[in-house]
Amino acid sequence: MTNRIDYLRISLIDRCNFQCLYCMPEGADLEYALKEHWLTHDEILQLLTEVFIPLGFTRFRLTGGEPLLRPGIVELVEAIVHLPETQDLAITTNGFLLAKLAQPLHDAGLRRLNISLDSLNPETFQKMAGGRGKSRWHTVWQGIQAAHRIGFSPLKLNVVVIPGINDHEVLDLAALTIDQAWHVRFIEFMPIGNDSLFEHKGWIASETIRAQIAQRWGLGEGAVTGNGPADVFQIPGAKGTLGFISQMSECFCDRCNRMRLSADGLLRPCLLNETGQIDLRSSLRAGVPLKTLREQVGVLVGQKPDINFKMRESGVTGAYSRTMSQIGG
CA distance 187 to 4: 24
Q: Annotation-wise, does 190 bind a ligand?
A: yes
Per the CB < 8 A criterion, the answer to whether 10 and 261 are in contact is yes
Q: Annotation-wise, does 260 bind a ligand?
A: yes
CA distance 20 to 282: 30
Q: Annotation-wise, does 156 bind a ligand?
A: yes
Per the CB < 8 A criterion, the answer to whether 154 and 165 are in contact is no
Q: Annotation-wise, does 258 bind a ligand?
A: yes
Q: Annotation-wise, does 61 bind a ligand?
A: yes
Q: 33: helix, coil or strand?
A: coil
Q: 62: helix, coil or strand?
A: strand
Q: Annotation-wise, does 9 bind a ligand?
A: yes
Q: Annotation-wise, does 256 bind a ligand?
A: yes
Q: Is 259 exposed, middle or buried (0-12, 13-18, 19+ CB in 10 A)?
A: buried
First to last CA, the chain: 26
Give the largest Cα separation in the chain, rounded: 60
Per the CB < 8 A criterion, the answer to whether 282 and 266 are in contact is no
Q: Which helix (H) or strand (E) holds 63?
A: strand 59-63
Give how far the C-alpha of residue 237 lies from the chain's centroid of Cα atoms, to the nearest Å: 28
Q: Annotation-wise, does 116 bind a ligand?
A: yes
Q: 257: helix, coil or strand?
A: coil
Q: Annotation-wise, does 22 bind a ligand?
A: yes
Q: Which helix (H) or strand (E) holds 273?
A: none
Determine if the peptide bond prior to 95 is cis (ω within 30°): no
Per the CB < 8 A criterion, the answer to whether 24 and 16 are in contact is yes
CA distance 239 to 153: 12
Q: Annotation-wise, does 298 bind a ligand?
A: no
Binding residues for S-adenosyl-L-methionine: 22, 65, 116, 190
- Residue numbers in the known binding site are 9, 16, 20, 22-23, 61, 65, 92, 116, 156, 190, 253, 256, 258-260, 270
Binding site feature residues for GTP? 9, 61, 92, 156, 258-260
Give binding residues for [4Fe-4S] cluster as ranges: 16, 20, 23, 253, 256, 270
